[in-house]
Copies of this chain bind each other. A is one copy, B any other.
């Protein structure tokens, strides 16, 4: 049985303008790989209602899980929650369970739960809340879409909250052989090797260090002994 599949949707003008460098994609990719969920696609869209709804719908039908980051704060440009509700034809309003979490949090800190902060309690009616141990304002899951904050510390905490509840697969294992040879010198035998070991996937990633071209050969698969045999053959081919 293949591993469950996933996609990620990063929402935010600040990524597309180059103001902010996204950190959440790389983090989520590593977490999903370790859990045996195959991240198949990532999309980044702007804070635009039409673009967000279209992307959510396309990804939700194509993959087992969709993870979003960004756009669930208290300001006027945070429109993700409303877009997710619209994408699934759900209603959205301030929900009592989310409001109670926020009320307790702001009571503790002596701050006012004002109209702006109350926006963070707007949750689609059919969604389940995702715990936020960092700053309380919850994420939520609606059908197979998991909606999380864009601030990396909060995003990571929400991933930790939701991931144990999702069905995983066989974790993808990988081994790397680092060769101080350019790809052009190894591509022929490497292609033959990849054909001879169809149970593993073989990738080649060039690098340049101090003016020397090298290649990292990465062999991936879910079975450790398959990988061991492949790596032994690879070492023999390249005499390392």
B-contact bits for A21-33, CB 8 A (1 contact / 0 none): 1100111111111
A42 touches B44 (CB 8 A): yes
A25 touches B44 (CB 8 A): yes
Query: A119-B187, A153-B208 known; A77 and B17 CB under 8 Å?
Result: no
Contact of A21 among B26, B32, B46, B206 (CB under 8 A): B26
Q: Does A128 contact B (CB under 8 A)?
A: no
Contact of A183 among B26, B46, B47, B73 (CB under 8 A): B73
Q: Does A180 contact B (CB under 8 A)?
A: no
Bound-state Cα–Cα, A153 to B206, Å = 12
B18 touches A33 (CB 8 A): yes
Q: Does A191 contact B (CB under 8 A)?
A: yes
Bound-state Cα–Cα, A203 to B10, Å = 16
Closest to A191 in B: B76
Q: Does A111 contact B (CB under 8 A)?
A: yes
Query: A17-B174, A39-B17 known; A184 and B30 CB under 8 Å?
Result: no
B40 touches A204 (CB 8 A): no
Bound-state Cα–Cα, A16 to B32, Å = 9
Chain A interface (Cβ within 8 Å of chain B)?
Answer: 10, 13-22, 25-33, 38-47, 51, 73-77, 111, 114-117, 119-120, 151, 153, 172, 174, 183-188, 190-191, 194, 201-208, 218, 220
Interface pairs (24), CB distance under 8 Å:
A13-B203, A14-B205, A16-B29, A17-B220, A18-B27, A19-B174, A21-B26, A40-B51, A42-B42, A42-B44, A43-B43, A73-B204, A73-B206, A74-B184, A75-B183, A75-B186, A76-B194, A76-B204, A114-B188, A115-B188, A116-B185, A116-B186, A120-B184, A151-B208
